[in-house]
Amino acid sequence: MKKALWTILSIVIIVVVSFYLQTKIAHHEKIKDGEVTEKYKKEVNHKTNYYIFADGRALKIKDHNTWNLIHEGEHYDIEYEYSDAHPPVVKFIGSFDEKGGSGH
């Protein structure tokens, strides 16, 4: 009886920990020379959220001023993070030309 209880408890702990890790761990990705094909705003609970669409991904921009400086059709190097519980959020965006192009 004790062995069965420990087995069940172990399985439950493994499932809970794996669920936690899947939803809470942030994954970091980079887009090099990605073209911003669209900019848009989305109103959620009386709060405006700012997004760009680059390299086939919708990415949230935290700051309105940063969003204003981004231009559709321009190419940028973008770093963003996401998890299963949170959408992709841009952590860094810089003009591709500012770095002197690829390889510099």
Query: How many domains are there within the chain?
Result: 1
Summarised one tens digit per residue, pLDDT across range 7-62 is 998 999 999 888 877 777 788 999 999 999 999 999 989 999 999 999 999 999 99
pLDDT at position 79:
97
**CATH number assigned to the domain comprising residue 75:** 2.40.50
| Long-range contacts, 91-94 (Cβ 8 Å, 24+) | 91/28, 93/61, 93/66
pLDDT at position 5:
87
Is pLDDT of 1 > 90? no
Residue the block writes with tokens 């921009």: 61
Yes or no: say if 59 and 80 are a contact pair by the CB < 8 Å rule: yes
- d(CA 24, CA 103) in angstroms, rounded, equals 33
6: in domain: no
94: in domain: yes
66: in domain: yes
pTM assigned to the model = 0.70
Please name the amino acid found at residue 39: K
56: in domain: yes
